[in-house]
Amino acid sequence: MNRNRWRGAGRKFTGELKQAAGRICGSRRLQIEGAVDRFAGGAQAALGRLQERLMGEAGARYTPHHASGLAAEVSNPRERV
């Protein structure tokens, strides 16, 4: 799990706690802050999941130049003549 997933999950959990505390105390402001934190945390966690997915796909398709034999062609273009 990357940093965005961890921080997003933590922020979402904090938001849930704030919302619950707001309900218990009767504080509308605390409920709203909790809802905002919960939403923002969910969005940040989703961003982290997207980043992991994209990095996984990029890593699967990435082939270093030395593995494909392109390094020799690029480094000495005159020798191919």
pTM for the full predicted model: 0.66
- Mean pLDDT score across all residues of the chain: 83
Q: Where are the beta strands (DSSP E) in 1-81?
A: none
Two tokens, residue 81: 């003549």
Residue 74 in this model has a pLDDT that exceeds 90: no
Cα separation of 56 and 38, whole Å?
Answer: 27
Taking the domains of the chain in order of start, what are their residue ranges? 3-80
**pLDDT band for position 10 (50/70/90)?**
very high
